[in-house]
Amino acid sequence: MRVGYVQTKPEFGKKKENIDNAVALIEQVDADLLVLPELFSTGYFFPSREELVKYTEEIPEGRTTKLFISLARQKKCAFVIGIAEKKDGRCFNSSVYITPAGDVHLYRKVHLFYKEQFIFNRGNLKFKAFPFYEYRLGMMICFDYIFPEACRVLALRGANIVCHPSNLVLNYCQITMPIRSIENRIFTVTANRVGSDTVGDETLKFTGMSQITDVDGNVLVRAGKHKPAVAVKDIDLRKSLEKMPTEFNDLIKDRRPDFYEELLR
């Protein structure tokens, strides 16, 4: 299985240029799955909800989703892309999984980061594992990673690989995702962006370093901090079916939920 990330450098509000630049990177590789960053087509740092609304799209009716449905069929490749979604008067920070057949699956960001909570609605879809060839694929977005419950729920629901569109500004994620892989014996693909967005006197700088991790927490490939990049790696998803780090331990069956009551509060 060939999976990869597309690390982009979007300019805020320039949707056509941002999409064209992403597609140019995509055309450089052949893969079974490619993951793009959070909000890859619009940029991240919206000054207001009113500004956000200008750039939102419906899913799957929006132009960006339709373009990637066509691209998925053409390249026989699955995509996970991050876009700003509008639905029934609400705005979501969303991730779209598009299969090579053009089927569309949706996740909306649950854990909003920083000033997102003032302009986006909180996600209202549960963490799910969707069919991915003979395996299953889960999605989470950026700041979701810092909550281990997100990856654990995806693993419990059968995810073999977790796709992680991101716009990371903190320095924790790249060292945290290998732990998520080890905890759940899953593969992860984090697709981050580079560059910066500015609103008024405040600038957010993005950390790049998109990466793929395996079930043992190894970083199989990692991008640089400053430039767009695309990378593809061969992985064996069968390894994610084995949840036993020793002959006597099973990471799923050995759990003791009766001791975790606080997690439900």
Q: Catalytic site residue 109?
A: yes
Plot region of 102 (φ>0 → left; ψ -120 to 50 → alpha; else → beta): left
Long-range contacts of 244-250 (CB under 8 A, 24+ apart): 245/185
- Tell me which of 9, 109, 163, 173 is the catalytic residue: 109
Give catalytic status of residue 91 as yes or no.
no
Helix, strand, coil distribution of the chain in percent, nearest 5 = 30, 30, 40
Q: How far is CA 120 from the centre of its chain?
A: 17
Considering the candidates 9, 38, 91, 173, report the single residue annotated as catalytic.
Answer: 38
User: Is residue 218 within 8 Å of residue 236, measured between CB atoms?
Assistant: no
Q: How far is residue 40's CA from residue 93's CA, in Å, rounded to a whole number?
A: 11
The rounded distance, in Å, linking the Cα atoms of 50 and 251 is 45
What distance, in Å, lies between the first and last C-alpha atoms of the chain?
39
Query: What is the spatial distance between Cα 113 and Cα 167, in angstroms, rounded to a whole number?
Result: 10
27 catalytic per annotation: no
Catalytic residue among 91, 142, 151, 163: 142
Distance of CA 254 to the CA centre of its chain: 28
Active-site residues, by number, are 38, 109, 142
